Amino acid sequence: GEDVEQSLFLSVREGDSSVINCTYTDSSSTYLYWYKQEPGAGLQLLTYIFSNMDMKQDQRLTVLLNKKDKHLSLRIADTQTGDSAIYFCAETGNTPLVFGKGTRLSVIA
Amino acid sequence: DTEVTQTPKHLVMGMTNKKSLKCEQHMGHRAMYWYKQKAKKPPELMFVYSYEKLSINESVPSRFSPECPNSSLLNLHLHALQPEDSALYLCASSQVHLSGNTIYFGEGSWLTVV
């Protein structure tokens, strides 16, 4: 079946940039998403990108998509302590939403 | 407004109890979803309702019974649950159930089965 892979942990210093990476296998993926989950909370949609785009920027967030390599990344500029959370990459193509295992971002003050 | 509201936020129930989780959205979405999330894991799809009809059941045990009374409401009825069913239950909605329709999640209901 379709698979989405992410590294499990990332630690950055406050003020630095964070880059969270994701790879997926579904060549029919049409939309790719980043969700943020803070402790004890639900999933917050951060941003998404359509598969015919290669970049999307939204304030501190930059999403890069390399469709050839099936690689997606989320860059958070000027990372703050409030950005500490689990970030899930997800894709949808011909199947319902498929999630990666999530990357736990820790921000060190 | 992209809000999906879930109640209760926390629920503790015994294995012989019957309880329900409720979900509401007023975005005019015609697809609604139940997901289950265990600690340190991604959400797993349980059910999809499309235009108030059940369209996907991911082989969920019958002790979980979904219901969609109207296009804004989604319930999950719980009966004879097991301790391993303790998890965060997330409701979500999208405009329709098609690829590319963004799915919005609620804050979840934390369920503990004792």
Distance CA A105, CA B91 (A): 24
Q: DSSP assignment, residue B102?
A: P
What is chain A's mean pLDDT, rounded?
A: 93
Query: What mean pLDDT do residues A28-55 have?
Result: 91
What is chain B's mean pLDDT, rounded?
A: 94
The pLDDT value recorded for residue B6 is 97
The pLDDT value recorded for residue B2 is 63
The pLDDT value recorded for residue A47 is 94
Nearest CB neighbour to A99, from listed B2, B42, B100: B42
Percent of chain A with pLDDT over 90: 77
The pLDDT value recorded for residue B104 is 93
Query: What mean pLDDT do residues B18-31 have?
Result: 96
Nearest CB neighbour to A99, from listed B40, B43, B106: B43
The pLDDT value recorded for residue B88 is 97
**Residues of B whose CB is below 8 A from A40:** 110
Show the beta-strand stretches assigned E in chain A. Answer: 4-6, 9-13, 18-24, 31-37, 44-50, 55-58, 61-66, 71-76, 85-92, 98-99, 103-108
Does A95 have pLDDT greater than 80? no
Residue B22 pLDDT grade (very low, low, confident, very high; cuts 50, 70, 90): very high
Residue A84 pLDDT grade (very low, low, confident, very high; cuts 50, 70, 90): very high
Contact B105 A42 (CB under 8 A): yes
The pLDDT value recorded for residue B23 is 98
Does B1 have pLDDT greater than 60? no
Does A40 have pLDDT greater than 90? no
The pLDDT value recorded for residue A30 is 83
Residue B19 pLDDT grade (very low, low, confident, very high; cuts 50, 70, 90): very high
Distance CA A99, CA B58 (A): 15
Token pair of A86 as six digits: 């689990």
Query: What mean pLDDT do residues A15-26 have?
Result: 95
Query: What mean pLDDT do residues B17-29 have?
Result: 96
**Residues of B whose CB is below 8 A from A27:** none
User: Cα torsion for A90, A23, A84, B22, to the nearest 10°?
Assistant: 20
A43, A63, A99, A101: best mutation site toward chain B, by most B Cβ within 10 Å?
A: A43
Residue B8 pLDDT grade (very low, low, confident, very high; cuts 50, 70, 90): very high
Percent of chain B with pLDDT over 70: 97
